[in-house]
Amino acid sequence: MKWLLLLGLVALSEGLIYKVPLVKKKSLRQNLMENGLLEDFLNTHSLNPASKYFPTEVTTQSANQPLVNYMDMEYFGTIAIGTPPQEFTVIFDTGSSNLWVPSVYCSSPACTNHNRFNPEKSSTFQPTDQTLSIAYGTGSMTGVLGYDTVQVAGITDTNQIFGLSKTEPGSFLYYSPFDGILGLAYPSIASSGATPVFDNMWNQGLVSQDLFSVYLSSNEQSGSVVMFGGIDSSYYTGNLNWVRLSSESYWQITVDSITMNGKPIACIGGCQAIVDTGTSLLSGPTNAIANIQSYIGASQNANGQMAVSCSSINNLPDIVFTINGIQYPLPASAYILQSQDVCTSGFQGMDVPTSSGELWILGDVFIRQYFTVFDRANNQVGLAPVA
């Protein structure tokens, strides 16, 4: 199915930026002062003078955005844009940086069967003459940029720039169960220089910590969530292990190795990977993935899927990703996807040329096993086994 393919990589011709200029961001105090919120914040955070010495992995100042688990392939939630609000379902995608939704300007088939934003019905909409063009691993869109109020996770994000699609060619977005995409990667890869939603939230002092967390449920269960501004330790076991980013563009990290039964099967000598909620599978260079498919006994079936015997789930060993010296095992029950009586590989080959060598994409197959914190303040990712 086409939506099993990559969603996360924005504008492959524009995107993979590795030398990113650092932009000094406003502090929380500055943001709160400019928005008249500093006094209230200090009053609610000064009850215990020793609180700064306590672990902050359980926070109360977070805003939770529930996500729907669609067949373990996509995770999307509902946002609203405009005054009065117009509702849209969007992928919360850490592999891209733009917010866009279909609009009444669009006549592509993919727009006609999804919710479309009508700027004439919003009293707070502000148009621009800027255009927008994004190509994903699968699917693309073009459109125009505008400003309006966006409601996400109970947060009212004013003066948010977003894309109104004018074209959505091809069949991928037509069949997608969501309307648009809300990107959560860095501003450096935002098409047309648009400020991402989370950056705008932080700049307005709407979240108490410059980070967000993601829990993705398994087996189509409910409970998936994006937590803006907080971490909830009830979603994971043990401690968070922090990994510094190797590039502040995507949420990109260095993987030490990928092994099975203690032997390297890919990423020998290290490789780069991005942690991407908008990619369903776990992707890597085609040659390396072909080797993994061979190891797990996957072969292409009549539908073009990499089929695996369902009995293999009980017999195959873990595939272990070692990151910053910590092992992150994926059991066969995670990397083999079971739908009724059909089992398929959760790995997918894709070659992305980069200046730093082969690139892997740790998509939903990986994130379902590991609660993930995306820490903008410290440019790092936190990982811990899901509870």
Known catalytic residues are 93, 276
Distance CA(318)–CA(240), nearest Å, equals 21
Tokens of 64: 């939770």
Query: The tokens of 221 are what?
Result: 């269960």
> How many Cβ atoms sit within 10 Å of the Cβ of residue 23?
10
Separation of alpha carbons 36 and 38, rounded Å: 6
* Bridge partner residues of 212 (DSSP): 228, 374
The answer to whether 180 and 101 are in contact (CB under 8 A) is yes
Instruction: Tell me if residue 79 falls in helix, strand or coil.
Output: strand
Residues in the chain: 387
Exposed, middle or buried, 78 (CB in 10 Å: 0-12/13-18/19+)?
middle
For tokens 């902050």, name the residue: 56
Cα–Cα distance measured from residue 346 to residue 292, given in angstroms and rounded to the nearest whole number: 10
- Single-letter code of the amino acid located at 200: N
Task: Write the DSSP symbol of residue 138.
Answer: S
Which of 191, 159, 178, 25 minimizes the C-alpha distance to 110? 178
DSSP, residue by residue, 282-322: EEE-HHHHHHHHHHTT-EE-TTS-EE--GGGGGTSPPEEEE
